[in-house]
Amino acid sequence: MEVKLYKSRWRAVKLLIGCSGFVAVGCGLLLKGTTPQWGAWACILFFGLGYPVGVYHLLDRRPQIILNEAGIFDRMAHKVFINWNIIEDAYLVQVHGQKFICLVVPPEWEPSRKQGKLAQTLAPIPKHLGFQELNISLCQINVDEVRLLEFILLMSKANPKVRVPLLEDFTKSF
């Protein structure tokens, strides 16, 4: 039993529309000639970079987050399943409207432990900003973040034998 969460197509469309507006402004500035050409081109090129990103998010239909009885997988945060048993706590963080679920795990399970000296030196920085080393980005997903957080906390504390029924209940009410 798995719950798969996908990127929101509507958010990709909003990104494309927003970029189009700023590219149009840049083109207008270029045609009007009231501002330096480099400024107009900078606007066009910078916001034009949003087109490939928006198209990628629009066409990428792979699941972003997968929840199953073993753990949670986020393609952006960590490349392997994060076992429910190692999640000690989780909390929600919002930065400029972008929501993240931060997963608190024991120090020996933090990703920086398996990386080089530089990664281990930089690892405390996210914690000083209120994050953890394992953060699940909900920016491109259309999901009730509070409900997902409650489910993650419930699954992390649940007995392995009751995780499948909890997944089934979450899927039915999702």
Q: What are the tokens at 52?
A: 């490939």
Which single residue is written with the structure tokens 């914690």?
A: 127
Could you state, in order of their start, the residue ranges of all structural domains in the chain? Answer: 7-59, 70-172
Side-chain half-sphere exposure of 73, counting CA atoms within 13 A: 16
Rounded mean pLDDT of the chain? 87
pLDDT in tens, 149-161: 999 999 999 888 8
pLDDT of 118 strictly over 90: no
Q: What are phi and psi of 82, to 5 degrees?
A: -95, 110
Q: What is the distance between the alpha carbons of residues 92 and 108, in angstroms, rounded to a whole number?
A: 22
Confidence of residue 140 (pLDDT cuts 50, 70, 90): confident
pLDDT in tens, 5-37: 898 899 899 999 999 999 999 999 999 888 899
Over range 97-101, report the average pLDDT.
Answer: 90
* Helix-helix angle 163-172:145-157, to 10 degrees: 170
Q: What are phi and psi of 168, to 5 degrees?
A: -65, -45
pLDDT of 130 strictly over 90: no
Confidence of residue 3 (pLDDT cuts 50, 70, 90): confident
Q: What is the distance between the alpha carbons of residues 171 and 127, in angstroms, rounded to a whole number?
A: 32
Question: pTM for the full model?
Answer: 0.77
